[in-house]
Amino acid sequence: MSKILTVGEPMALFVAEQEGSLEEVEQFSRFVAGAEVNFSIGMSRLGHPVTYITQLGNDPFGKYIEIFLQQNAIDTTNVSYEPGYVTGMQWKQKVSSGDPEVFSARKNSAASHMNLETIANLNWDGFDHIHLTGIPPALSAGCREMVYELMKQARERGVQISYDPNLRPGLWSDKQEMVRVINDLACQADIIFPGISEAQLLTGLEDVQEIAEYYHAAGVKTVVIKLGAKGAFTSSEGEQFYTEGFPVKEVVDTVGAGDGFAVGVVSAVLEGLPLKEAVRRGTAIGALAVMSPGDNDGLPDRNGLETYMKKSQPII
């Protein structure tokens, strides 16, 4: 299996056990949140070794997160502790439909203080792929510089790069800067996974084919635009196609669906499957992700994935 690298901010997540506003709910269940955490767990469950780079606070939640990553067979060699700062935390509403309200306490967190020193001793030996998102560049100037350097080193070494914009406007002080930085990073990747609304905001274009051409012109080989329940649109080296979404019995939590989608596509590509099959796997894992309460609870192992894909037919 391919060896994968990623970097991000894992957070302690508290999910409400009853529906209602966060200020009213009294009981919460604890999970671990973070787009890159979700991606790492999904890849690990499918048998792909993942190394996760991050900084945690020297507090109970930081230690809980490291143990959680290790329990999910994720390499924590490059996880360090920053004693002067705390681990980020997040609270999420329970909803029966729509996106939940999410409140984060991550400003000045330990992860936001990552910088070039964080990756100074990184050993690239054996890595085939690096997955990055638009979240770390939003945390601080130091994190942004680190991500640019990771992109540079990956390209120099011929390591394949996948990139999910994962826009977090609330973490940016300036919308124009967000668009500029995210697009700049996206255009250095081999594969990108914008959601349709993200892609429209980033490019100023509405049509999926025009959006794909925008990124192709900047050097991106493969553009996969997530269309929610409708599936995805893919454009790569002259090949363009739509992929239908898989049926969802009940939407429990939409957070993490995009990360699951990236897991499906990247894992299949690394396994040498045709791109159409890779995107179909992505839509399947995305569907599984929204049917579970935590951000990564629904991410399947290989048997679970194969069983679901055999018995479920995409939405036509």
Q: What is the DSSP string of the chain?
A: ---EEEE---EEEEEEEEES-TTT---EEEEEE-HHHHHHHHHHHTT--EEEEEEEESSHHHHHHHHHHHHTT-B-TTEEEETTSPPPEEEEEE-SSSPPPEEEE-TT-SGGG--GGGGTT---TT--EEEEESSHHHH-HHHHHHHHHHHHHHHHHT-EEEEE----GGG-S-HHHHHHHHHHHHTT-SEE--BHHHHHHHHS--SHHHHHHHHHHTT-SEEEEE-GGG-EEEEETTEEEEEPPPP-S-----TTHHHHHHHHHHHHHHTT--HHHHHHHHHHHHHHHTTSSSSSTT---HHHHHHHHHH-----
Among the options 75, 190, 253, 259, which is catalytic? 259
301 is catalytic: no
Active site residues: 259
